[in-house]
Every structure is written in C-alpha cells, then in structure tokens.
Chains A and B, each alone.
Chain A
Amino acid sequence: MPIQYYIALASALFCIGVVGVLTRRNAIIVFMCIELMLNAVNLLLVAFSKMHYAKAAAAGAVTTAGTEGQLFVFFIMVVAAAEVSVGLAIIVMMYRNVHSVDVNFLNRLKN
C-alpha cells in the first residue's frame, strides 16, 4: 500500500480525536479522544518506520533504518499510560468536588 493511505488513515483518526475533544462533554470521553490522537500518531510512526526500512533495504544494505520510529511508539504507549493514570485520578477528584464529570462545569476560573 502506498504511504499516503497510512497518512490519510492516521490523519482521519487524529481529526476524529480532535473533534471528539472539542465536542464531547464527558471528561472521560474527552480523555479517550486524546488517546485516540496519540494512537493515530503511533500508527503513523509505525508506517513511516516500515517505509524507511523498506527504502534502505531496497538500496541493498543490511540496515537498522526505521527502528527509531518503532521504539518511539513504545515510549508513547508508556507515557500515555502514565498520563491516563494521573488523568483519571484528577477526574475522580473532579467528581468528588462537583459530582459530575462534565467539562462544562469547569468554568470557575476566569477573568
């Protein structure tokens, strides 16, 4: 498959994530949408990694090209997990304080 397809798919996923963050009111779903954005990037990175490997392999050398992309994906997954754990904790605290997880309730701090 040409690389453009991957880019299109990942961009679509990313945009869905963005729209979700923008439109959903439930904090947990907002959070899921952010995860979706991160996963879109993961997909992109894996695809690029493969692409660079293929390019180098086609040039005929034994190569490690493209490993960085895959490594990066693991880091992103780990960090995303950490982010979720802290994020969910904060959402729980929010629920304790305002008895709701609706992000529209977050409007006390303003000018």
Chain B
Amino acid sequence: MTNLIAYIPALPLAGFLLLFFTGRRMSKSMIAFVGAGSVCIAALLTIVIGITFLQSGSSANTQTLWQWMRVGNFSCDISLRLDALSLVFVFIISFVGALIHIYSIAFMRQDEDYARFFASMNLFVFSMLVLVLADNLVLLYLGWEGVGLCSYLLIGFWYKVPANCAAANKAFFITRIGDTAMAIGLFMLFKTLGTLNIADIQQQAATIPNVTTIALLLLMGGMGKSAQVPLQTWLPDAMAGPSPVSALIHAATMVTAGVYLVARMNVLFLLSPAAMNVVAVVGAITLFVAGCSALVQTDIKRILAYSTISQVGYMFLALGCGAWSAAIFHFFTHAFFKALLFLAAGVVIESLHHEHNIFKMGGLKNKMPLLYYTFLAGASALAALPFISAGFYSKDAILWYSWSAGNGNVMLWAVALTGAFITALYSARLVIVVFWGDMKTPIAQQPGKLMTMPLVTLAILSIIAGFVQWPHNLLHVTLFADLVEKVLPATVLKQGIPPELLLQLIAAVVTLGGAYTGYLLYYKSPHIIEQWKTAEPNLNLREFFVKGWRFDELYQTLFVKPFLFITRSNKADVFDKIHQWLVTACSRLNGWLSLSQNGSLRWYIGSMLVGIIFILALQFFL
C-alpha cells in the first residue's frame, strides 16, 4: 500500500498535463471530467491509503521514488513520506479539493477559459500535496513555490481586469518576502547539518547552534504564506480570484502551509523558546487585527478573507503555545467550514448578479433555504457555537491551551477570548445582513445540484467533524490528538490554572454574547449603529479597520515610495552602466576574436605555432 502514496499527487499532475497540452481541444464536459475526476480519484485513494495506514499502526511510510542526483556527498532524493500529520493535510487537500472541484464544474461553466482554470487548480492540488508529502525540505520548497505560482495564476485568473493582476502581483511579491527568508533559513540549515531531510533534521536538531535564527527565518516563510501580521496584506486582495479558488487556496489549504511548516519543524521551535513566543505573539496579534477588520468590511469575500487571517492566527497562537495538536485540529475543522462559507458566498454572489456588498443583499433566507442552512452551519462553526459546531471543539481547545499549555499565559488567553467575541459578532452580522431582513437585489438563478452537493457535504462536516476530539472534562474522546501526537509532541500543561470548566464557561458565554450582540446590533435595534456612526472618531476608527489597520498605506510610505524615489533618481541607470560595461566588453572581445577567424590557412598555421611556443614557454617558465 505504501507504493500507492505517489499516485495521490500523480493523479492531479496527470490531470494538469492533460489539460495543459490538450485542454484547448477538449469539450467542456471532458475538461470537467478530467479536472475534477483526477482530484476525486485522488481523494478516494487518500481515504483507502489513510484507512490502511491507520490500521497498520505504523508511524510513517516513506516511499522513495527516485534519487534525482547524487554527486559527491550531495544527494537529492525525491521521496514522499506519509505520517499522521501529512495524512491529515493530504486528506483535507484531496477531499475538500475534490468537493471544490465538483462545485467548480458548475460555477465556472460559463467561463471561456475552462481548461486553464482546471489545469491551474489541478497543478495547485499537485503542488500542495507535494508540499505536505515531501520528506525533505528541498521537495517541500518545490511544492511551496508551486502553490505560490498557482495562487498567482488563479488570483489573476480574470486577467483582463487590471485590478486582479495587481492583486495577483501583490500576493506574489509579499509572499516572496517570506519565501526568501525561508530560503535563507534552508540554506543555513543545510550549511549547519549538511542535510535537508526532515527525519535527519529532527534527529540532529539539538546540535544546531543558531536554532533561533533558523526557526525565525522559517517562521517568516510561514507568515508570508499564511498571511500573518505583518505580511497579511495580500490575502484580502487575493479575493479577486474566483470563489472556488478562494475556498481552496485562500481558506482551506495554501494559507495553512505556514502552520504545516511550523508543525513539521516543531523540533526546531521547541529548542528555541524565543521563537515559540514569537509564533504565539504573531498569532495573537494577527487574530485580533484581522478580526477587527472583518467586523467592518462590507464585501462578503473580504469579510471571509479577514476571518481566515484571524483563524489562521488562532492556529499560530496554538502552535506558539505548544498546543500542536490543537492547532492542527483547528486547521482540520477550519478547512471544512471556511471552504463552505466561501463556496456559499460564491453562490450568493453569483445569484445576485455579482454583487459583493452585503448591505445590498438580504432576505435570502426564504428564497434559498438550502443555502441559508448550509451557510448557517458554516457561520456557527466559525463563531464556535458550543456543542453543535465543529469550530467549537477546536477553538475551545486553543482557548484553553493558550493559558494552560506550557508556553501559554493569561494575556494570550485574553486576546484569544476577545477574538472569539469578535468572531461570533461578525459571524452573526454576516448571517443576519445577508440572509435576514428584506430583499434588496432580485435573485437571478438558483444553484444547481453540482453546487449544492458540496455545500451540503461540507455543512454536515462543519457540524460533525468536531466530534472526533472532545474537551477533556466532557467526553473523553481524543481520537484526533491521539493520531497527530504520533508525530507531534504532546501538549504539556502548566500547574495552577483555573479549572477547565470555568474557562469553557467563560468562552461559551463570550461566544454566545458575541452572537447575541450581533443579533442586537444588526437586527433588533440597528439604530445603535446609526447613532454610533454619527461621532467623528468612531467613523475614523471604522475607516481604520476597513482599510485593514492601514497596513497598505504604511507599506506604501515605508517601502514603495522610497523605492520609487530611488528608481526615479536612478533614471539615468547608473547601476546599469556596470553591467552595460560588461556587455560592451563581451561584444568588443567577440569582435576581436572574430578577427582571428579570418579564414586564411596560413594565419591558422601561424597562430597554431605561436600557441605551441606559448605553451612550451608556459610549462618551462612557470
């Protein structure tokens, strides 16, 4: 069964190649069949392999495909490694990916670049699978860059609109900052250990002298990909891509690559308490900053984008606290409900003539009941409503560990709790404004079966996916933690923490309070907000949040403007002169040397003799 691992990424790759080379000549149904079919088969295969893997009880299966090169003592193997951590990721990527592909069949039906869309999506799934299955960091980096490329291609999918291209560029540039840091980290790691094999790194990690630097550099890479403060500004703009893209890449999978990286490299982080603290603080800041922004957005996809940043922030917080399994658990549930929310948002937008502003929506509850209930399931999971939603189980664990885990403290818990309140508030706002009240825009079309099927599946999962892991003091079900703790270190608890039940109650009350506040503000008595809006400082604050804490403007002033200034003052291309000189020199030398090729046999003989004399002289006088 181990030999089948390679087929999981190979299927989407085959789909990509087929679509890339022959897609133009295929009919649309053929494209859909290839594009979605490859990922669906990969998902089925994952389930089969996953079950076998769990039954076998082994800790990791490694499959070496081939050795790319071995020159001297340097070797680079292409091998895949399936363990509990990668199994969770592979499952989410292929399974949620398959659902999103099915959804896309209908969603993208009208688009003329149908083949290009599915080709890019398949390439993305392939790259992401390579990223999580890689057994060495070189291969991981290949997948890492691959998903970056696909993200770029898909954000700018509708490239005829300049704003979309700008968004794609922005995403590419900002993640590149993180990628560069990560590459430097990899170089340092290789220089110190002489290997980039993950298992070897885990064994030899204790011998690394500058582990904090390396851990922080890798974290930078993760922060870029996972849109953590201060590299978070690209994700809201990335919503320019089609909704399935947002669901798959910018909610469920790619943005959690940073979480995967940190979890995978947990040994390095455990060796460096400073780096752990940085991870936790970055997560806490991010979840708060993004949560505030999500509160005041009016574009439905931007709300979801900010909420994604905020939820990934929770995962980082958990990682930083040392609650490894809780972070991965939150990734697990988040993938379902956030993909669901994006897909549902896509349906809403499509039905309302590409309307993105939530205040121009409303009253969809009765017209599209199925959509409403699935969205409600997703939103309640996002808000982490107790017991009935998957999000509760994962977020509750993070809240609890943010104080009780070895690296947690009360400050982090307070921030996380505030975040929970904000999350519940904007979730409620989203549901109420979009689905309740009066209808403001007429509905153009109802979603077809291909679109509702993934929605319903994901909605069910958003409710039940949490049952695999219960809080310790309620039901003692710890299936998920048992699984991932085969790979990840177990969470260590501190002493002297208030009882878990108390914190849970507080969290539940805060969450319900947030939801109720939303109900109050946006349904029951909207005049409070109207009143609030009349004050000047409040409006300024709102504007500040809407613009994502003005990070874009900050970067504009700090980096872009000075850079433009430098380029403007360098209009004469002073620096170009340096390599221009090289070009001239090459060209000049070429001219001179060409003169020697003058075709005269006697000149050839003569120069050969001169060469002989020169060589003889060289060996005698040196």
Contact = CB atoms under 8 A, between A and B. Distances in A.
Indicate if A touches B (C-beta under 8 A).
yes
Interface of A: 18, 21-22, 103-104, 106-111
Contact of A110 (B598, B602, B609): B598
Contacts of A22: 602, 605-606, 609
Interface in B333-365: none
A66 B512 CA distance: 107
B600 A107 contact: yes
Nearest to B599: A110
Contacts of A108: 599
Contacts of B605: 21-22
A111 B606 CA distance: 18
10 contacts: A104-B600, A104-B601, A104-B602, A106-B599, A107-B600, A107-B601, A109-B599, A110-B598, A110-B600, A111-B594
Contacts of B56: none
Given A18-B609, A22-B609, A111 B602 contact: no
Among B597, B601, B605, which residue has the most Cβ atoms of chain A within 10 A?
A: B601
Given A21-B605, A22-B609, A111-B597, 17 more contacts: A18-B609, A22-B605, A22-B606, A103-B601, A103-B602, A106-B599, A106-B600, A106-B601, A107-B599, A107-B600, A110-B598, A110-B599, A110-B600, A111-B594, A111-B595, A111-B598, A111-B599
4 smallest A-B Cβ distances: which pairs? Answer: A110-B599, A111-B597, A107-B599, A111-B594
Contacts of A104: 600-602
Nearest to B598: A110
A110 B599 CA distance: 4
A79 to B, nearest CB: 21
A62 B54 CA distance: 84
A2 to B, nearest CB: 23
Interface of B: 594-595, 597-602, 605-606, 609
B611 to A, nearest CB: 13
Nearest to A107: B599
Contacts of A106: 599-601
Contacts of B602: 22, 103-104
A97 to B, nearest CB: 15
A18 B600 CA distance: 17
Contacts of B601: 103-104, 106-107
A86 to B, nearest CB: 17
A111 B603 CA distance: 14
A77 to B, nearest CB: 24
B598 A107 contact: yes
Contacts of A110: 597-600
A74 to B, nearest CB: 27
A18 B609 CA distance: 9
Contacts of A109: 599
Nearest to A22: B605
Contacts of A21: 605
Contacts of A18: 609
Nearest to B606: A22
A22 to B, nearest CB: 5
A103 B597 CA distance: 16
B605 to A, nearest CB: 5
A106 B609 CA distance: 19
A18 B605 CA distance: 9
Nearest to B603: A107
Contacts of B600: 104, 106-107, 110
A5 to B, nearest CB: 22
A22 B609 CA distance: 9
Nearest to A110: B599
A11 B597 CA distance: 30
A107 B594 CA distance: 14
Nearest to B595: A111
A99 B227 CA distance: 80
Contacts of B594: 111
Nearest to B596: A111
Nearest to B612: A18
Contacts of B606: 22
A107 B598 CA distance: 7
A104 B599 CA distance: 9
Nearest to B591: A111
A106 B599 CA distance: 7
Contacts of B595: 111
Contacts of B599: 106-111
A84 to B, nearest CB: 18
A104 B605 CA distance: 12
A82 B601 CA distance: 22
Contacts of B609: 18, 22
A104 B602 CA distance: 8
A89 B235 CA distance: 77
Among B595, B602, B605, which residue has the most Cβ atoms of chain A within 10 A?
A: B602
A22 B602 CA distance: 6
A106 B595 CA distance: 16
A106 B600 CA distance: 6
A108 B598 CA distance: 9
Contacts of A103: 601-602
Contacts of A111: 594-595, 597-599
Contacts of A107: 598-601
B239 to A, nearest CB: 58
A107 B597 CA distance: 10
A18 B595 CA distance: 24
A22 B228 CA distance: 76
B535 to A, nearest CB: 81
B19 to A, nearest CB: 47
